[in-house]
Amino acid sequence: MSATPPDDNASHILLVDDDNRIRELLSRVLVEHGYRVTSAANAADARKFLGGLAFDLLILDIMMPGETGLELATWIRQHSSIPILMLTARSEAPDRIAGLEAGADDYLAKPFEPRELLLRLSAILRRGGPKRAQAAAEIRFGPFSYNAARGELKNGDNLVRLTDREKQILGIFSEQPGATVPRHKIVGDDSGLGERTVDVQINRLRRKIETDPGNPIYLQTVRGIGYRLACD
């Protein structure tokens, strides 16, 4: 697996295909047209990248050995709304339908012209992902309530002291109550903040809201993705 040097202003694409020749060709074409590209040879490598990097779109080959593209797309859709363009040597209607049912936004049969791929990518990116949500006025989980506007966490009627960073983290969870939040969204614009630091901060927050921080009920780990706050 490999990653091209990034351009921070370009859309970041994760390319997943077990064919090394296709990965190299598409990576070169995409970079020449201004995209950042990270490539993975299989689903396992793709999961690692998805757990630590932010992507604008996923190009995913269906027919991979081991975990197929359909299986990976189904798993991704349980945790993320990242746009997916599926590639496959099959063009029959049942296969296209299977890809769309797995959560793909578009479908492109091999062989294809790079120009067509670029046009489809551009169309998907123009449609755009979900806009940044407004934080809910208040979220509740168990005996706790968090008011995002005031930055106040209460256990019943008792105020729980929070650091500014803990308020920021709860504010992020308030934007999509109950949804899985990838680690990179918790990192945000702080390029000096790594995943390990995020894990430490999550563990500190757990000690304030969990009876047993080692077996959390509310602030749950979603393996390979990030965290989820189980709101009422």
Q: What is the pLDDT of residues 28-77, one digit of tens each?
A: 999 988 888 999 999 999 988 888 788 889 999 988 888 888 899 888 88
If you average pLDDT over residues 186-214, what whole number do you get? 77
CATH number for position 163? 1.10.10.10
What's the order of all strands across the beta sheet hosting 57-61? Answer: 2-3, 36-40, 12-16, 57-61, 84-88, 106-109
Q: Are residues 209 and 106 in the same domain?
A: no
CB 31 within 8 Å of CB 4 = yes
Q: Are residues 146 and 189 in the same domain?
A: yes
pLDDT grade for 91, boundaries at 50, 70 and 90: low
Q: Write out the H or E segment, with its range, that includes residue 116.
A: helix 114-127
Residue 132 lies in a domain: no
CATH number for position 62? 3.40.50.2300
User: Quick one: pLDDT at residue 190?
Assistant: 46
Q: Are residues 9 and 118 in the same domain?
A: yes
Residue 102 lies in a domain: yes
Total domains present in the chain: 2
If you average pLDDT over residues 191-199, what whole number do you get? 62
Q: Which residue has the higher pLDDT, 198 or 162?
A: 162
Residue 170 lies in a domain: yes
Q: What is the pLDDT of residues 159-192, one digit of tens each?
A: 999 888 889 899 889 887 888 887 777 765 444 4
Q: Are residues 117 and 152 in the same domain?
A: no
User: Quick one: pLDDT at residue 135?
Assistant: 60
Range of the domain at 150: 138-229
User: Quick one: pLDDT at residue 213?
Assistant: 92
DSSP3 helix / strand / coil % (the chain, rounded to 5): 40, 20, 40
Residue 93 lies in a domain: yes
User: Quick one: pLDDT at residue 128?
Assistant: 59
Q: Are residues 115 and 7 in the same domain?
A: yes
Q: Are residues 110 and 155 in the same domain?
A: no
